[in-house]
Amino acid sequence: MTKRSSRFQTALFCLVLGGLLVFHILLPDRARSETENRTLAQLPAFSWSALTDGSYTKSVEEYFADQFPLRDQWTGMKARTERLLGKSEFNGVYLCGDTLISKVEEPDMEQVEKNLSYVMRLAENTDARVILGFIPSAAQVWADRLPDGAPTWDQAAFVARTAELGLPTADVSASLNAHAQEPVFYRTDHHWTTLGAYYGYTALMEALDKTALPAEAFSPQTVSTDFHGTLYSQSGIHDLPPDSISFWAEEDGISVTSWRTGSPESAALYERTYLAKKDKYSAFLGGNQPLCVIQNEKITDGSKLLVVRDSYSDSLAPFLAQSFSEVHLLDLRYYRASVARYAAENGIGDICVLYSVPNFITEKNLVFLVQE
């Protein structure tokens, strides 16, 4: 390479970088990425303490990465290039034919043991029966679809180990594994489908010594055929066919109250406005919220269930609402009061701690289970 050629390439490289910097300055910062379905980092406020402990520089790096010009287009191009090179893992997501499956990383076992101890302490501090339920992800149920040799953490061993804790358990794994050949997970999203949620409902009802309604009692209705979920966004693989979303349960006689803003407000089993948005899964109950109470006036036996949950229960709740007079759902990411006291004050005799395995092993908010 001649000196002139080297200088030209250096100048071109600097010009491209300078152009991107100017482009970045001129473009307004985005608050949210619809493609990735998440909030984007904003320019952090400077402080000497943040600079000293390294958090400021880390926040600046996250800001520039999130606000990089044409980020969505670059991400998609990167994924296409890697596919041409024969890669099968993209940003922690495996491409398995027409299906995306999220890799489950080895967790911090100290945090996992803490989380299990919090559940045990809740059981000790309440008069209610505490039932533990773990939802395996597609990486476990659809393990045969993963690329050859693809590493992913052993969720089955974890679930088997938790069965030794002495708490009653809902065997969601067995229920999903028995129907692994069916579409129990979305192909482009990490959640279970409504069909998968139904099988989870049957497992939970068995653990509660109750009879689940048969599938024939419901009337599935396809409400969307263009759902691209979180894994579609995370992976950068944007040429897969979309998923469909279906609603099964009837809403007649059911009232839903949400504490989304801290005060009770009327809500619904299905918030259909989300079907016109990127985050279509939030059509179930309207997405994340601290507390949600569902009442079914047709069930007069006074049966009540409290579910300490993650987002998988959003699509499970409509099934539970057909079998209980009241279903209370608490999300510890936003709810900070005592779970035991809430159950006692509302006359609830059964508490189900129900999480997907990947969420439970990484969750940092389960410590609030032991609030007094």
Task: Compute the distance between CA of residue 203 and CA of residue 173 in angstroms, rounded to an integer.
Answer: 9
Provide the pLDDT confidence category of residue 274 given band limits of 50, 70 and 90. very high
Q: Name the one residue in this structure whose structure tokens are 């995306």.
A: 100
Mean pLDDT of all residues in 187-202: 98
Task: Compute the distance between CA of residue 104 and CA of residue 101 in angstroms, rounded to an integer.
Answer: 9
CA end-to-end span of the chain, whole Å?
A: 72
State the pTM of this model: 0.83
The pLDDT of residue 212 = 97
**Stronger pLDDT, 236 or 330, i.e. the higher one:** 330
The pLDDT of residue 48 = 76
Arithmetic mean of pLDDT over the chain = 88
The pLDDT of residue 86 = 60
Residue 302, pLDDT above cutoff 60 = yes
Collapsing DSSP states into helix, strand and coil, what is residue 321?
A: coil
Q: Using the Cα atoms of residue 29, residue 272, residue 304 and residue 117 in order, give the sign of their dihedral.
A: negative
Mean pLDDT of all residues in 224-252: 94
Residue 372, pLDDT above cutoff 50 = yes
The pLDDT of residue 371 = 86
The pLDDT of residue 255 = 97
